[in-house]
Structure formats: structure tokens, C-alpha cells
Structure 1
């Protein structure tokens, strides 16, 4: 790739993959939600991603980070030091700035383009301008836990079979890109837990400890899924105190109990 040359493709992922091949640092300014999604996807796939800084409008970030897949992946990159996120409007167009080039990102229909410039003085002026705006911007509070920590602790505390089903169901949801942002991660987790006969107490305690949601949210979601006939519970006596509830799928509602079907059920319940 020639620094500053115009780039064309069918997705923002293609543009970012090309830029990542030679960049050591990347500053993405005023992206669309689609561009933020693409950034987390490409960063996850890269074997040696550049250091990335994301400067975006706070309402846009809050909206796009409602998508559990995007938010948990972004949290992974923040935790590793690869990604930093700050809020504030910085440009009238979406800009991608590296040490040697500047691109304006455009999307029209099913095509995207990056219009580039590599004049040294111009690139320096742009970089200096947005470096200053970056320094004056506020950090974005990303409250979703890193996906790697979710997966690791789920396997350790609940069981490797449950983790495997969680991964497979989440992958099925990743593939349904047009509907991906419409699912609820607590619903997904409870359905996966029910497939593996996990106690409600155990999965809700894990979920609260890892930072996914409160025990109360898990309990409310369990009740909703039970009322809809998707899951059922059975009482498990304990030595002291009230019996605990074991989650089980209502197999009368499923043709097959596969992660792919759980993903489909999760999406069909989306508002």
C-alpha cells in the first residue's frame, strides 16, 4: 500500500486491514457505529495490531457499545493496552490518521472508500490538531467486561462445556451480523446455562462477579424465559436454607438443542 493512496472495498474492515498492515499507531476520529464495529473486529483478528486511539461522540459510543460483542471485544483491547477510547467531536468527517497518512472514510451503499493524503506537512498539521483534541478529551467509561475474562471465568467457575456452548452460540450470533446488536447477553447466558443444567445461583453469582449483570437481572431474565416456556427449573435441596433452582431447557420448545438454535431463539426474542 502506498501511504495516503485512495483505498476502496466492500467494507470498513477491508480498509482497516489494509491500513493495519503498515501502521504502528492509528487515530480514528468521529467514526460511524459501523466503523467502530469494524475497528474492534479487525483489531481482534490482527496478529500484531497497531496502537489504536478512538475519539468519538459520547452518544454514538454509548449506542454502539450496547452491542455486547463490540463492547466486550473493545474491553479486551483496552485491557491489553491496544485500544484507548475518549469522547468528543473532533472532525466533520470520519478521519483515519497514522504517522504518515490521513484518510477520510466514506461509505455509500455497499461500497466504502478511504480518500488519502500523504503530504508530510499536511499530515503533520492534521495529526497535531487531533493529538491536541485527544489530549483534551474525556476517557470513555466502558463498563462491559472483557470477553476473554468472561470466557475464562465461565470455564473455570461454571464448566468447560458451558464455556464451549457460550462460545459456539456467540459465534452463531456473530454470523448474524444484521441482527447482532439486538440480543441480550443475559438471555444468551441463561439459555446456555440451562442447556448444561447449571444452578441459577451459580450462573447469577458468576455473572455479577464478572460484571455482566446483577443477580437480580439474572433472576428477572430467568423468570421471563420460564414464563415464555423456553426454560424450566427444578428444585435442588441444600443442607441449610431454601432449595436452589437448577436451570433446564424446555426441550418441547426446541427441534434440536444446539448452540445455533439457542442463537436463533435469542435473536427471535429481540425487541
Structure 2
């Protein structure tokens, strides 16, 4: 059985395989890095194959805790390009399997190599085996809404300027987990709402409707940011009921920050 080295970079390996896979790609037991690269690379390819990812549940949960990655993955799920299921046994090899080739992803230190074979008998056996595994696997459900829907509804329901700020903040971040390495999606939403002096009711209703978080989560996060001095509120009377709260920045450094600086300034203040 002949095999050869496809590449030594996971991004290039995935681009090569996605470019050559005409219809179906099974991604078996990928690492966290491979999942991240798959989502990034697939998002740049218009004519991509159907991707079926069989992953370790804990790895998928960790990776998908990043809003930026999960919302881009949800874009792929939403347009029927990507499906996610969990492996019952995480000891499987890391493989890319198509009807015409099998690529084994081999990690050596910081290097990833792709060992590939197109031996018809072996490829057929591997594809049939993992296709059967897929059919028996449990769906991994993403709780994050597609980023395209988040942006569209934010623009339609609140305004173009806040959507531009929201996208600008995301573009300036590597992750959006809220674990010290990045702001979470609720905090980002509230910060750009404060920048645009939007009502708390409006941003929290939008966030709950689109599936980012509940109104209660928005309210708790607002209170935390207000207690830390990042945002402030002012009461806005309405015809019937209690006044609503308009969000504003509570720190001059946030008021002076450009959109692409907003995340780093907020992160420094939170720390």
C-alpha cells in the first residue's frame, strides 16, 4: 500500500483535502487545533464538500466554548456543509476520509504531517467503517447561533452602527471565551451597546431572541460591568411601566477607544 507525505501544516493539509474532496469528507477524532483550522479553512471555500466531523465530546465542548469559532461553525451547520457527532471511544486515529483517499494526521512535537493513501481496497474499507460509525454516533448540538444571523439581526433590529462595532470587536479578538483570553459574547454585546447608547432592554431582548444568552444573563453581566465602572446607565421614562435603562460607557478610556481597541481596553480594565 503506497502512501506519501501530504504536507506538514494542518491548514495546508485541510485546504488540499477540502479542495480535492468532491462530495463527502469524514473528519475523525481531530485535535482541537484541527477543528479550529477546519472551520476557518472551510469558511473560505465556496465549493466545499459535505463535512461530517466525528469528534471527542470533551474536545468539541472546549473548542465550541469560543463564540467566534462556534458561531462560524454554526454558519457551516446552518448551510448544511457541516455536521457534528461524538465518538463513543476517543482512542480512534485522527483521520480525513473521503471516498477516494485516507489521510492520517500525525503529530510529532509541534509539527503535523498528513500521510495519505489512495489504495482503493483500503480506502473503501476505511470509508465504510467510519460511515457506519457515523450512523451510530450521537449528534453534537451547537448552542451558538450562526454568526451571519447574529450580524443580520443586530443590524436589522438595533442598527447598522452597532453591528459594525460588534463585528469590529470580534475581528480584533483571537477568541471570545470570557476566560481571561478574550471577552465573552454577552460582554461584547453590552460594550458595543454602551458605545452606541442602546437601551439594555433592546440589546438583551435581541440577545435572547437570537440565542446568545437569556435576558437574565445580560442583566447579571451588566451589573458586573457597572460595578466595575466599565459601563453606566441612565433611566429613560416610558409611557407605561418602569423606566428603561440606557447603556453608556462609565470609563473615559472606553469612550476614547476606537472599535478595534475596545476589546483590549475593556480586558485591561476587567483584569
Same fold? TM cut 0.5:
yes
The corresponding residue for 2:226 is: 226
Quote the Cα distance in structure 2 between the aligned partners of 1:269 and 1:80: 38
CA contact (8 A) 1:230 1:250 kept: yes
Scaled by the length of structure 2, the TM-score of the pair is 0.91
Give deviations 1:154-180, integer Å, cap 9, x for gaps.
000010000001111101113899x99
Secondary structure (helix, strand or coil) at the match of 1:39 reads helix
The corresponding residue for 1:74 is: 73
The corresponding residue for 2:141 is: 141
Scaled by the length of structure 1, the TM-score of the pair is 0.91
CA contact (8 A) 2:173 2:182 kept: no
Quote the Cα distance in structure 1 between the aligned partners of 2:8 and 2:110: 9
CA contact (8 A) 1:187 1:266 kept: no
Q: Kindly tell me: are residues 260 and 210 of structure 1, through their superposed partners in 2, closer, same or farther at Cα, counting changes over 3 Å?
A: same
Task: Give the total of aligned pairs.
Answer: 267
Moved more, 250-259 or 74-83: 250-259
Correspondence 1:42-57 to 2 at 5 A: 42-57=41-56
Give deviations 1:125-155, integer Å, cap 9, x for gaps.
1111101100000111111111111000000
Q: CA deviation at 1:40?
A: 0.7
Give deviations 1:208-257, integer Å, cap 9, x for gaps.
00010000000010111111111111111111111111111124233732
The corresponding residue for 1:167 is: 167
Give deviations 1:85-144, integer Å, cap 9, x for gaps.
111136532111112111111234443211111111001111111011000001111111
Quote the Cα distance in structure 2 between the aligned partners of 1:256 and 1:32: 40
RMSD of aligned residue pairs (Cα, Å): 2.3
Give deviations 1:21-77, integer Å, cap 9, x for gaps.
111221100011111111111111112111100001112111111111111111111
